[in-house]
Structure 1
Amino acid sequence: MPEPRRRHHRRNNEGDKRRKVIYSIDTSVLLDILIPDPYFGPSSKETLKRASAEGKLVICPVVYAELSAFFRQKAELEAFLTKTGIKLSPFKKDHLWMAGKMWKDYLAGGGKRKNRILADFLIGGFSKTEADAIITRDAAFYSDTFNTKVYYLKKDSE
């Protein structure tokens, strides 16, 4: 009896029609690269490089707005996003609904960390409903609050 034919699956090949992994990026990771942060900068850069090779990189409008404070011209921000392969995705009602519900729960629970602002919940709601994982240094908040998969390389010393 002949052996059954086996299909060889190759990821990210030109003919591959499967959906790529979508990574949402938190502002802190991008600021590590832009400022640059001597401690987190190299690992943030490497994380984005690896994630980009595996899938699609996206940011939500809040991250775009936060990043804009670090550029003199809109064209400079757009050039940075193009160079890094990061796409701006618009908010959808599902993102906003998720953020609002989680914000309400956070406030009703007394807010474990007093420094949380609505922007954190907008990023979390976007990531939970739009992406497969979030790239962030705030892993505990996003994984605990939104049960979101976190993708981040830690420093070798950690």
Structure 2
Amino acid sequence: MIAIDTSVLIDLLGDDAGRADAAEQSVRDALAQGPVVLCDVVVSEITAGLGHGTDIMDVVEEMGMRYLPVERRSAVRAGEMQRRFNQRRRASGRAAQPSPRTVPDFIVGAHALLQCAALITRDAGFFRDYFKGLKVIVPKAP
């Protein structure tokens, strides 16, 4: 089972043809290996970004993807990773600056690490840094 990040779904459903093609190929490749899933955060974010939540989910499901809720252990791991991130920022003296990361980023990563085999995302650096062992798949233009 492979999780998909919001950025890739927005690319897939958005207006940028180059990004849409790369996202589509990544999803096709992943679906050939097994289920592709969206967690709670991704469903919420694509609805916020694209609107029409029920319609968007219908489209996503027609493509072969499905919803997989975040388990408690993933939610706990997300909180642990967020705390580690905040500690690193304080130690580097950047705590006063606005954080580029919020809890949803950590939930997506923990969900992919603990409940799936991989994550399709454009944000490989962050997920590799905080979720060691997570296989990260980055869409590439065909």
In 2: Cα distance, 1:64 partner to 1:145 partner: 22
3-state SS of paired residue (1:110): helix
3-state SS of paired residue (1:116): coil
Structure 1 vs Structure 2 CA RMSD:
1.7
What amino acid is aligned across from residue 87 of structure 1 in structure 2?
Answer: R
Task: Count how many residue pairs are aligned between Structure 1 and Structure 2.
Answer: 134
Structure 2, unaligned stretches of length 5 or more? none
What amino acid is aligned across from residue 51 of structure 2 in structure 1?
Answer: F
3-state SS of paired residue (2:66): strand
In the alignment, structure 1 residue 129 sits paired with structure 2 residue 142: no
In 2: Cα distance, 1:153 partner to 1:31 partner: 13
3-state SS of paired residue (1:155): coil
Structure 1, unaligned stretches of length 5 or more? 1-21
**Partner in structure 1 of residue 40 of structure 2:** 61
What do the CA deviations read for 1:69-99 (whole angstroms, capped 9, x no partner)? 2133x43123112211111111111110110
In the alignment, structure 1 residue 101 sits paired with structure 2 residue 80: yes
What amino acid is aligned across from residue 58 of structure 2 in structure 1?
Answer: A
In 1: Cα distance, 2:58 partner to 2:66 partner: 11
**Partner in structure 1 of residue 141 of structure 2:** 155
Higher relative contact order (CA 8 A, sep 6+): 2
| Identity level (%) | 30
Normalised TM-score (structure 2): 0.87
Which one has the largest radius of gyration? 1
